């Protein structure tokens, strides 16, 4: 019997990754899109265009799963609120199913990511796991008692909006919070800290790039850090330390077996994860730390796409 195929789409605050995935978790075709400042109609059109591109390469797909950076009312398939995309109040599941002529599943992107990592990735075999995805903001997912935890209305696990610093900076996007985890730890925050370092150190590698007109973002900081630049390594260590303090609260609250760190900013690897592990070891409740693993996502920044595809595959069973 030929493998069944679906489409998984993972959308973040500035980019989209999609692909055709079969029931053996093999990705056959990929598509990427970026967006900045797109309105609601343009955003939905980008989703549609991305699906149609990969569908043209594999017309036998049976369903589509979407992971979106929004509070998704799971049972109704409605995007209630989004911090980064104009998706407030969108009946996403039914609207996209009508547009595309296939069954559609939609969930928060963090929920999609933890599903992938718990089924087949870094948290495979665990009954209790936490996923944090570092991208434009912070995506979060909980795997509790062997299932995705969604809360009373299907909108739970927004761990990026837990308050990490009293009277801290305003949270980016539409969040009304201040001092949120997302405001202090994310791919964008790596870029912001990198720019501060560049401005304060004009002769540094970052300073020279800034003077040359290059935008200082998390990718550049991470690239230079891996190349050995000490100032960039200090930026990643700072972000890793903040990440660790955010994770302490999650460790003490959920007592997970595994914490999985994903998203584009996780490319910092141990330059971010080791400071985070050190903070957890020093400040989490001691019994909670016993046996705890803090691991990079097995699927890297494709975890959300794989998880969205898994949602679609499991709906066919």
How many CB atoms within 10 Å of residue 81?
A: 15
Decide if pLDDT at 191 tops 90. Answer: yes
With bands split at pLDDT 50, 70 and 90, how would you rate the model's confidence at 101? very high
Domain ranges in the chain? 5-113+302-316, 125-297
CATH number of 125-297: 3.30.420.40
Mean pLDDT of all residues belonging to the chain: 94
Query: For 37-90, how does the pLDDT look when each residue is reduced to its tens digit (9 = 90+)?
Result: 789 999 999 999 999 999 999 999 999 999 999 999 999 999 999 988 999 999
Q: Which CATH superfamily is domain 5-113+302-316 in?
A: ATPase, nucleotide binding domain (3.30.420.40)
Decide if pLDDT at 265 tops 80. Answer: no
Decide if pLDDT at 197 tops 90. Answer: yes
Instruction: Return the pLDDT at 304.
Output: 94
Question: pTM, whole model, 2 decimals?
Answer: 0.93
Q: Do domains 5-113+302-316 and 125-297 have the same CATH topology?
A: yes
């Amino acid at each position: 019997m030929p493998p069944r195929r679906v489409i998984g789409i993972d959308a973040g605050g500035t980019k989209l990754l999609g692909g055709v995935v079969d029931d053996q978790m093999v990705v056959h075709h990929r598509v990427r899109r970026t967006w900045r400042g797109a309105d609601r109609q343009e955003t939905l059109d980008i989703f549609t265009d991305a699906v149609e591109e990969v569908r043209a390469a594999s017309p036998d797909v049976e369903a589509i799963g979407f992971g979106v950076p929004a509070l998704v009312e799971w049972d109704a398939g409605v995007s209630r609120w989004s911090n980064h995309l104009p998706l407030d109040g969108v009946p996403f599941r039914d609207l996209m199913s009508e547009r595309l002529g296939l069954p559609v599943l939609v969930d928060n992107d963090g929920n999609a990511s933890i599903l992938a990592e718990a089924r087949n990735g870094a948290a495979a075999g665990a009954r209790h796991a936490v996923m944090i995805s570092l991208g434009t903001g912070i995506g979060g997912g909980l795997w509790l008692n062997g299932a995705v935890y969604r809360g009373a209305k299907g909108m739970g696990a927004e761990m990026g909006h837990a308050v990490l610093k009293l009277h801290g900076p305003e949270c980016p996007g539409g969040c009304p919070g201040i001092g949120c985890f997302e405001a202090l730890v994310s791919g964008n925050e790596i870029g912001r800290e990198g720019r501060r370092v560049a401005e304060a150190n004009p002769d540094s590698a970052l300073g020279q790039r800034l003077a040359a007109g290059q935008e200082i973002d998390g990718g550049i900081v991470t690239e230079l850090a891996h190349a050995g630049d000490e100032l960039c390594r200090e930026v990643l260590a700072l972000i890793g330390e903040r990440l660790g303090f955010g994770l302490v609260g999650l460790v003490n609250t959920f007592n997970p077996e595994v914490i999985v760190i994903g998203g584009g900013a996780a490319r910092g690897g141990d330059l971010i994860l080791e400071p985070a592990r050190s903070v957890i070891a020093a400040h989490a409740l001691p019994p909670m730390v016993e046996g705890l693993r803090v691991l990079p996502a097995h699927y890297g920044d494709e975890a959300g796409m794989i998880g969205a595809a898994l949602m679609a595959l499991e709906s066919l069973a």
